[in-house]
C-alpha cells in the first residue's frame, strides 16, 4: 500500500497560498464557471498520488477529502489506472442499457455479491449519486404502486429534482427550485418512533408509503451516527407494512467505514442499496442494487445512455478488488487510530465538542467553549482554512463539524501528520 504514497513527505508548502499560478486559474475559473459551485479554498490541483495532491505551484497537500469521499483507492492508484488504460484501448462506450459488454455484466455480478443479503439481486447503473437516488425513487414507486416516501431531516441525497426532494440538508440547496416532487415527508434522523406514532397516525396510511430512504450514517448532514437500534427498527417497520428499505450508501459505502457497506455495522439487509462516489475511484459511476423481485420494471421504463460506461466499470472492478484485498481493513485500522487521536485532541481542546464516525468517515464537532456545546460554525470554518494553509485538506459538514474522509490508502504516519496539524491549528485558534 505504501508504494502508492511514495517517499515525498507531505505536506510541503513552498509558496504563499494560493500561489501565483493558482491565483491565475482561480481568476479565470471564476469568470466562466457556475457561481453555484462552493469552492472552499483556492486549491488548484495539478496531480494526485495516493493521499497526496500537488497543486499547480508545486505545493504538496495531504488529502483528507478524497474528492469528497470518492477517491477510495487514493489518487491514480496504479492498478486502477492500468485497468482504465486497458479498457479504454478496447471499448470506450456502447450504451449499456441497449447493448451487452463484459465489464458491465461482470461488475453487476460483483455488486450483487458484495452488497448485504444473499438473496438474488439486480443492478441498474447510473453516472452519479443523484441519479442512483432518482432510480431508487422511481423503482420504489413503480414496484409498490405507492406514492409516498419517508426521508430524514439532515439527509443529503443529491440535487436533481427527485433526489433534491429527498434532500433536507441546507435551505440553499432547495431555495428557489420548488415545487419539488410531491409525496416526500421528512422526520428527524434517528427517530424511528415518529413513523408509527406521528406519520401513520396523523398524515398518511402505511399502505401509501413506497419506501424509507436513509443514509446509514448521515453524510453532508454532519457525519451523524444514529442510535444503535435505529436501522433495525426502521427495517422492522418496513417489513410490517410492505415498505421498501432503501439505503443511500453513496458516501458511506465502498469500504469507507471499515465495511463494504456501512449498513453492515447494524446487520440490516436493505431492499435497495444506492452506490456512487467511491465505487470507481474517481470515474463517474453510480448504481442501485435491488432485490431481484423488487427490480421488476419492464424494458424501456428506465435507462441511461452513459450509465455503466465500460471504462468506469473496469475502474470499479479493480477498485473493489483493492478494497477487498486490503483497503477496507486499512480503513478500519487507521480509522480506529484516528478516532483515538481525535479524542485525545478533544481532551486538550474545549473547542471540540464531539468526535464521531466509523472507519474513515469521521468528524469533529466544533462548539463554543464553555457553552454547553453550542455549535461554532465560524470555528469550523477557521479550522478548515488554517489546516489548508498548513497543507492539510479538510471539509466541513453539518452545522459546525469538520469531516475527515481521506482515501482508504492513508497510512498511520499520514494520520499522525493530520492529527498534528489539526492540533496545531486548534492551539493557534485558542
Residue ranges binding ligand PLP (CB under 6 A): 128-130, 133, 156-158, 215, 219-220, 248, 250-251, 276
CB count within 10 Å of CB 36 equals 8
Please identify, using beta-carbon distances, which residue of 55 and 249 lies nearer to ligand PLP: 249
* Smallest separation, CB 217 to ligand PLP (Å): 9
* Smallest separation, CB 163 to ligand PLP (Å): 7
* Smallest separation, CB 187 to ligand PLP (Å): 17
Residue nearest ligand PLP (C-beta atom): 129
* Smallest separation, CB 188 to ligand PLP (Å): 17
- Rounded distance between C-alpha atoms, residue 20 and residue 216, angstroms: 42
CB count within 10 Å of CB 145 equals 7
Please identify, using beta-carbon distances, which residue of 22 and 123 lies nearer to ligand PLP: 123
Please identify, using beta-carbon distances, which residue of 256 and 390 lies nearer to ligand PLP: 256
Please identify, using beta-carbon distances, which residue of 23 and 159 lies nearer to ligand PLP: 159
Please identify, using beta-carbon distances, which residue of 133 and 195 lies nearer to ligand PLP: 133
319, 107 contact by CB (below 8 A): no
* Smallest separation, CB 355 to ligand PLP (Å): 21
* Smallest separation, CB 112 to ligand PLP (Å): 21
Please identify, using beta-carbon distances, which residue of 63 and 215 lies nearer to ligand PLP: 215
Amino acid at each position: 500500500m505504501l508504494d502508492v504514497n511514495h517517499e515525498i513527505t507531505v505536506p510541503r508548502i513552498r509558496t504563499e497560498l494560493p500561489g501565483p499560478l493558482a491565483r491565475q486559474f482561480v481568476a479565470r475559473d471564476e469568470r466562466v464557471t457556475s457561481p453555484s459551485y462552493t469552492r472552499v479554498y483556492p486549491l488548484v490541483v495539478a496531480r494526485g498520488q495516493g493521499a497526496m495532491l500537488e497543486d499547480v505551484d508545486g505545493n504538496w497537500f495531504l488529502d483528507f477529502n478524497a474528492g469528497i469521499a470518492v477517491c477510495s483507492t487514493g489518487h491514480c492508484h496504479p492498478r486502477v489506472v492500468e485497468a482504465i488504460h486497458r479498457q479504454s484501448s478496447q471499448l470506450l462506450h456502447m450504451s449499456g442499457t441497449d447493448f451487452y459488454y463484459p465489464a458491465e455484466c461482470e461488475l453487476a455480478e460483483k455488486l450483487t455479491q458484495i452488497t448485504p443479503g444473499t438473496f438474488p439481486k439486480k443492478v441498474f447503473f447510473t453516472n452519479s449519486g443523484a441519479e442512483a437516488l432518482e432510480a431508487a425513487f422511481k423503482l420504489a414507486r413503480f414496484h409498490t404502486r405507492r406514492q409516498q416516501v419517508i426521508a430524514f431531516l439532515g439527509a443529503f441525497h443529491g440535487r436533481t429534482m427527485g433526489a433534491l426532494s429527498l434532500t433536507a440538508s441546507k435551505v440553499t440547496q432547495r431555495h428557489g427550485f420548488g415545487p419539488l416532487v410531491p409525496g416526500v415527508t421528512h422526520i428527524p434522523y434517528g427517530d424511528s418512533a415518529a413513523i408509527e406514532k406521528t406519520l401513520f397516525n396523523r398524515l398518511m396510511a402505511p399502505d401509501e408509503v413506497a419506501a424509507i430512504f436513509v443514509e446509514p450514517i448521515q453524510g453532508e448532514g454532519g457525519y451523524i451516527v444514529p442510535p444503535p437500534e435505529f436501522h433495525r427498527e426502521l427495517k422492522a417497520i418496513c417489513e410490517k407494512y410492505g415498505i421498501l428499505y432503501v439505503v443511500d450508501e453513496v458516501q458511506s459505502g465502498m469500504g469507507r467505514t471499515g465495511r463494504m457497506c456501512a449498513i453492515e455495522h447494524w446487520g440490516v439487509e436493505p431492499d435497495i442499496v444506492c452506490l456512487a462516489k467511491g465505487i470507481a475511484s474517481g470515474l463517474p459511476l453510480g448504481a442501485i442494487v435491488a432485490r431481484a423481485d423488487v427490480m421488476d420494471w419492464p424494458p424501456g421504463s428506465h435507462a441511461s445512455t452513459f450509465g455503466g460506461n465500460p471504462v468506469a466499470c473496469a475502474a470499479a472492478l479493480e477498485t473493489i478488488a483493492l478494497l477487498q484485498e486490503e483497503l477496507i481493513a486499512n480503513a478500519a485500522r487507521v480509522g480506529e487510530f484516528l478516532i483515538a487521536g481525535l479524542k485525545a485532541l478533544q481532551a486538550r481542546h474545549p473547542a471540540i465538542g464531539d468526535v464521531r464516525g466509523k472507519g474513515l468517515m469521521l468528524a469533529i464537532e466544533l462548539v463554543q467553549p464553555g457553552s454547553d456545546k453550542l455549535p461554532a460554525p465560524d470555528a469550523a470554518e477557521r479550522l478548515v482554512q488554517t489546516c489548508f494553509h498548513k497543507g492539510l485538506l479538510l471539509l466541513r459538514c453539518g452545522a459546525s463539524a469538520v469531516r475527515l474522509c481521506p482515501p482508504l490508502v492513508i497510512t498511520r504516519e499520514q494520520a499522525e501528520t493530520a492529527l498534528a496539524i489539526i492540533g496545531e491549528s486548534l492551539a493557534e485558534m485558542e
